[in-house]
Amino acid sequence: MYEEVKSDVVKILKILEEKGLNYGRSGNVSVRIPNKGHVVITPSGFVKSSLSPKDALVIDMEGNVIDGEGLPTAEIQLHLGIYREYEYFNAAIHAHTIYSSALAVARESIPPIIEEAVLYVGGEVRVADYAPFGSRELAENVVKALRDRRAALLANHGVVACGKDLWEALEVLEVVERLAHIYVLSKALGRAFSIPREVVEFQKTVFLSKLKH
């Protein structure tokens, strides 16, 4: 089932590893198949960059495996929670990036310091409250932090980026990690200014009209 989507998931996992956005067994990726009630999702326990398309699983919206062998990622509730709440997302990438994880450890949201923050993410990147990995509580906290945004940090953990498809989710993830890197460096210089509030508000309006249509 959904061979093309499974091979895109594998491509994304390799890109994440190559770009230093994820490593080893960490991270997970999913794609919702519109109008089918199915989600293609990574399995638990693999070195993600060595996954082959046949290892990806297909689940329904209750989390039952309907195609493939093995267990879905421990973060299954996180992915399903995002799709249940936000009908405009069809892909989600969760990764253990470095700079965004550093800010997630500091439990510090990333302010709109450059315009990509608003254009790609929707504004300040919030930190979802801490909950243990794989828990329903974590899923709930992340869903809440994603309101009118395409990404959120997970306290003491990592980041999740969403999009209408996998390639958009990847683009958002790259923007968040770059934002986080720039923010950490500017704080090291001693000052980090946000772009003017009225510019943020205007660009947010544009962002939201694109996000929800």
Q: How far is the CB of 96 from Zn ion (least distance, A)?
A: 6
Indicate the residue among 76 and 118 with the shorter CB distance to Zn ion: 76
Indicate the residue among 81 and 158 with the shorter CB distance to Zn ion: 158
Yes or no: say if 173 and 97 are a contact pair by the CB < 8 Å rule.
yes
Indicate the residue among 57 and 200 with the shorter CB distance to Zn ion: 57
Token output for 52: 């082959």
Q: Which of 3, 18, 69, 75 is catalytic?
A: 75
Yes or no: say if 104 and 89 are a contact pair by the CB < 8 Å rule.
no
- Each as own residue / partner, the long-range contacts of residues 29-36 (CB below 8 Å, 24 or more positions apart, any chain) are 29/91, 29/92, 29/93, 29/94, 29/166, 30/73, 30/79, 30/83, 30/91, 30/92, 31/5, 31/90, 31/91, 31/165, 31/166, 32/83, 32/89, 32/90, 32/91, 33/2, 33/5, 34/90
The dihedral built from the CA positions of residue 88, 168, 21 and 111, taken in this order, carries a sign that is negative
Q: How far is the CB of 93 from Zn ion (least distance, A)?
A: 11
Q: How far is the CB of 30 from Zn ion (least distance, A)?
A: 13
Q: How far is the CB of 194 from Zn ion (least distance, A)?
A: 28
Residue, CB closest to Zn ion: 158
Indicate the residue among 58 and 95 with the shorter CB distance to Zn ion: 95
Question: How far is 192 from 133, CA to CA, in rounded Å?
Answer: 31
Site for Zn ion, rule CB under 5 A:
158
Q: Is 115 a catalytic residue?
A: no
Which residues does the annotation mark as catalytic?
75
